[in-house]
Amino acid sequence: MTSRPVRATSTIAPTRRGSPVVTAVMATYNNALYLQQAIDSVVHQTFAEWELVIVNDGSTDETAAILARCDDPRITVHTLPNNRGRSAARNVALSHATGRYIAICDSDDLSHARRFELQVAFLDAHPDISIVSAYLRAFSTATTTRLEFPLDSRSIQRRFEAGKMGAAHGASMIRTECFRHAGVYCEELRSAEDFELFLRFVQHYRFRTLPHVLLDYRNSLGAVPLRLWREQSRAHRYALYRSRRTAVPPVQTQEEFSRGWRTQLAVHTIDMLRLARFSLKAHVFSHYSAR
């Protein structure tokens, strides 16, 4: 395990002879409570030809101490001096990735032991598919639920076209060439960066979802604070805006887009109604699950 300060970059490392099949990329920020479990879920994969690239995104908790104890030679750690956000941190990880497949591994989620095995086998057998995902088991301290996504490429594409997430980002394995040809994460976005990335990818590549739960996704499964909901709504709308723009005229920055009256109106009307609906469903679900 090696660790050194780095700067964010969008360059994708070349795949070399003898490189592992899978590069698992993990960005982490002040997530010491769950980090070791996330790392262990990669270490215990039944598929052994992987490397894990972890980027410590300027954490101020015990993250550095946990990472210093990693002794598996397949794990490398890179440290950003200041918090840059998940997009920048993941781009740093991608710049050091040498595998032909990229496995997204968030630092508070748990990959099931056969995740890499099943996803590698699928991509190897289906060269026409570039991104393969899976179902999730969302869980909190009190509740769990199974999250399913469309399975076939056309259904996934239609869901993205409807402005919704068509595949689980955190459970996805992606051909490295997708990042080389369609670009990496938009560093301007600190949320909805996964949605923006997949909106770009779906224009060029085919997705599939395996009908298996391959990831435990840590989630509060409850109401979202109003401020956070508004931030996520603006980011979601900006991701959609970027995916629908051409080179001319120039694309607005997220700040410029968020200040626009159309964005403000949508966030404070349509998205507020969505928040009310989401909060009601979360309340009913929590009450039912607790019984």
Q: Please determine, for residue 260, whether its predicted confidence score (pLDDT) is greater than 70.
A: no
How confident is the model over 157-180, as pLDDT tens digits? 999 988 889 999 999 999 999 999
Q: Which of 219-223, 241-245, 286-290 has the highest mean pLDDT?
A: 241-245
Q: Please determine, for residue 72, whether its predicted confidence score (pLDDT) is greater than 50.
A: yes
CB atoms within 10 A of CB 106: 23
Check residue 40 and give its pLDDT: 96
- Where exactly are the structural domains of the chain? 3-218, 226-290
Query: What value does the mean pLDDT of the chain take?
Result: 82
CATH for the 3-218 domain, from 3.30.70.270, 3.30.470.20, 3.90.550.10, 3.40.50.2000 = 3.90.550.10
pLDDT, greater one: 70 or 140: 70
What global pTM score does this model have? 0.82
pLDDT, greater one: 52 or 5: 52
Q: Please determine, for residue 107, whether its predicted confidence score (pLDDT) is greater than 60.
A: yes
Q: Please determine, for residue 227, whether its predicted confidence score (pLDDT) is greater than 70.
A: no
Check residue 19 and give its pLDDT: 85
Rounded CA-CA distance 144/110 in Å is 14
DSSP the chain: --EEE-----PPPPP-TT--SEEEEEEESS-HHHHHHHHHHHHT-S---EEEEEEEES--SSHHHHHHT---TTEEEEEESS---HHHHHHHHHHT--SSEEEE--TT-EE-TTHHHHHHHHHHH-TT--EEEEEEEEE-SS-EEEE----SHHHHHHHHHTTS--S-GGG-EEEHHHHHHH----TT-SSSHHHHHHHHHTTTS-EEEEEEEEEEEE---SPPPHHHHHHHHHHHHHHHHHHT--SSSPPPPHHHHHHSHHHHHHHHTHHHHHHHHHHHHHHHHHHHHH-
Check residue 87 and give its pLDDT: 94
Q: Please determine, for residue 280, whether its predicted confidence score (pLDDT) is greater than 80.
A: no
Q: Which two tokens stand for residue 223?
A: 């109401």
